[in-house]
Structure 1
Amino acid sequence: MGFSTVIGHTEQLHIIKELIEKNAFPSSVLFSGPKGIGKKLVAVETAKLLTENSFGIKIIGEDKPPTIDEIRDSSSWLFKKPQYSSKKVLIIDNAETMKTEAANALLKTLEEPPSYAVIILITSNENYLLPTIRSRCKIFRFGKLTEQQVKTVLQNLGIQYDERIIKICGNSPGKAIALVNSKVPDLIAELIKLLKEKKLYENITSFSANFSSMSREETELFIDALELLLSEKKTFLKWFEPLEKGRTFLKFYGRPRNVIEWILINITENGG
């Protein structure tokens, strides 16, 4: 049964297969775990097994937070009986980004879904979801992959990479793929060099200028990679709060260059 394209997550896949084989798969499930580890791939493959084909599957929330209109439209779609498959599966990616009004609209469907319907929510932070939504879902928690599994994913996709990417991707194939075509590995190397040579303070402005043309997503990759590299260092506690606050500023539309400059100024002022 399915999942031939999925690397890792053996225990979760075993449970999912068993539930499908017994015709006991829940009507509402939550796939929770770090970003970029294959949760959406598992959701799509699960949906294919449930519908017995690729029909009857709808995905929302991939590129932007699911809106109340999308939730309502998806619910209307879900309540129309399937014509070409045994079930209908609605996959909601990045479910934690739903606003309260959209989440409340979804809650109505979760409370009384049609018998043939399955809703799969995907999240990288289940605590951001309404407790009433979490309580109506069976939760599958997915962990990070091993370094070798990440390499296998990249090799299977024919992606060329260097070892720096493996070290800073946090065992997330999704992040590794994003890092391949990113300036982040070079910027991390440059920052580490400045720190070792104790030349960061006088170079903050020139270094942060690198982020003027970078997206928030790529800047967040940089912050994640830096946090990962520093997590085992004795000085990590000095970095932790500025990195967390910087990530929050970035989320609420802070300019990447300004966010990075703010982080570095705070670090140097505190002897980082």
Structure 2
Amino acid sequence: MIKTWEQLKGHSEQRELFRRSLQRGRLSHAYVLAGPEGIGKRQFARLMANSVFCREYELSELQVCGECRACRGFAAGTWPDFIEIGVPAGKNVIPISLIAGETTDGKRGREGLCYELSVSPQASDRRVAVINDAGLMNTESANALLKTLEEPPAHSLILLVCDNPDTLLPTIRSRCQIVRFFPLNEADVQEILLAEEIVESPEEAASIASLCEGSLETARQLLHPELRKLKATVARQLNQMEGMKPLEVAASVTAGIEEMSSNTPEQRQNAQWLLRFVADAIRARLQGLAGGDLSDPLTQRLGARNGVDLLAPMLDRTLAASRQVDGMSPVKLVMEALFDELARMIRQAMKRA
């Protein structure tokens, strides 16, 4: 768990934006932290809250010491002036009970996030609330929060974390300042993957970082055991040259994608990742040939020129398959056609060699 700003990768511009606002005394009462999933928005929000409470630094410095009573209490999850909510386990929305309390026991308006914000701080100058996955508030929840945003307590700071601000009610967006966050760079992703021991080697970290588009959540999806097994299967088949068994490969790949996918959109996303693996493997071989690397078994069998003549059309065919999946073609049919065509290309190239 990230406990200091120095441990947070990226987002230095966003931090500087908040620091300037603090130095000018222009901190707003509510912000939307918006950007792709898995890039550190929640950690940023928590560091913002911790900075409000830290007693060793002025708030305008936007820093945390990690050692004072407030920082220790915050890290332990016991600091009384911090409220954090999100989608409850097993649910797909943020219910109004978390925002304004339950109705069944007469506590509506006397508990929940809005009530907690209205109470005077117990140990700090402000109360800070973080709403994770804020775009998943239902209509009741959003309208209840809107009342607090319209008349915010003077001692409050509300941070709404979401992937897309358009999922929020326009009336909520209009009462918040939107701060946009962007994907992490590949070097930062590699460092995090290795530091948190998510991958086993620098080579694997580099490979995943190049594919995950700056999102640790996407990186974790790419490391799904079933997807890794499918990647290994495809790599092994591509290395067999004329021995590739296209129908077996397509059947194995399709079954694996279906097993690890809970719905059709997820199935298409996993199919796209697999096609990306195939394209990257072919592209890496092409780059090796362009750089004069003649150690690849394909080059040894075909020669550099014939290798390029084979690999370039294979890459084009794989990219075409990706477009077909985007175009809503059945994943199974796309995979069968792709691997059949790749096997045919390899057999023809071997005959010409």
Inter-partner Cα distance in structure 1 for 2:48 and 2:275: 33
Inter-partner Cα distance in structure 1 for 2:25 and 2:41: 22
SS at match of 1:242: coil
Inter-partner Cα distance in structure 1 for 2:11 and 2:124: 27
Larger Rg: 2
Q: CA deviation at 1:101?
A: 1.9
> 2:256: which partner in 1?
210
1:156 aligns with 2:195: yes
SS at match of 2:5: coil
Q: CA deviation at 1:88?
A: 1.0
- The residue correspondences of 1:95-110 to structure 2 (distance < 5 A) are 95-110=134-149
The TM-score with structure 1 as length reference comes to 0.76
**Contact 1:242–1:267 (Cα < 8 Å) also in 2:** no
Q: CA deviation at 1:214?
A: 3.5
**Contact 2:230–2:274 (Cα < 8 Å) also in 1:** no
Q: Note closer, same or farther for the CA distance 1:78–1:215 as it changes in structure 2 (3 Å cut).
A: farther
1:71 aligns with 2:99: yes
> 2:324: which partner in 1?
238
232-241 vs 222-231, which deviates more? 222-231
> 2:331: which partner in 1?
263
Q: Could you list the per-position Cα deviations for residues 18-61 of structure 1 after superposition, in whole angstroms to 9, with x for gaps in the alignment?
A: 22344422111001111100000100000111233322212111
**1:126 partner letter:** P
1:58 is aligned, of 83, 87, 97, to 83
Q: CA deviation at 1:153?
A: 1.8
Taking only aligned residues, the RMSD between alpha carbons, in angstroms, comes to 3.5
> 1:174: which partner in 2?
217
Tell me the percent identity: 29
**1:74 partner letter:** L
1:225 aligns with 2:273: yes
Q: CA deviation at 1:113?
A: 1.3
> 1:183: which partner in 2?
226
Inter-partner Cα distance in structure 2 for 1:50 and 1:12: 16
SS at match of 2:43: helix
**Contact 1:164–1:185 (Cα < 8 Å) also in 2:** no
> 2:304: which partner in 1?
none
Structure 2 residue ranges without an equivalent (≥5): 55-69, 101-111, 281-314, 342-353
Q: How many residues align?
A: 252
Q: Note closer, same or farther for the CA distance 1:98–1:263 as it changes in structure 2 (3 Å cut).
A: farther
Q: Note closer, same or farther for the CA distance 1:239–1:179 as it changes in structure 2 (3 Å cut).
A: closer
Q: Could you list the per-position Cα deviations for residues 66-95 of structure 1 after superposition, in whole angstroms to 9, with x for gaps in the alignment?
A: 111111111111111110111111111111
Structure 1 residue ranges without an equivalent (≥5): 244-261
> 2:301: which partner in 1?
none
**1:264 partner letter:** K
Q: Note closer, same or farther for the CA distance 1:112–1:190 as it changes in structure 2 (3 Å cut).
A: farther
Inter-partner Cα distance in structure 1 for 2:183 and 2:123: 36
2:42 is aligned, of 18, 40, 43, to 40
1:20 aligns with 2:22: yes
SS at match of 1:90: strand
**Contact 2:227–2:256 (Cα < 8 Å) also in 1:** no
Inter-partner Cα distance in structure 1 for 2:335 and 2:224: 28
> 2:10: which partner in 1?
8
Inter-partner Cα distance in structure 1 for 2:245 and 2:173: 48
**Contact 2:193–2:199 (Cα < 8 Å) also in 1:** yes
SS at match of 1:66: coil
Q: CA deviation at 1:199?
A: 6.6
Structure with greater contact order relative to length (CA < 8 Å, sep ≥ 6)? 1
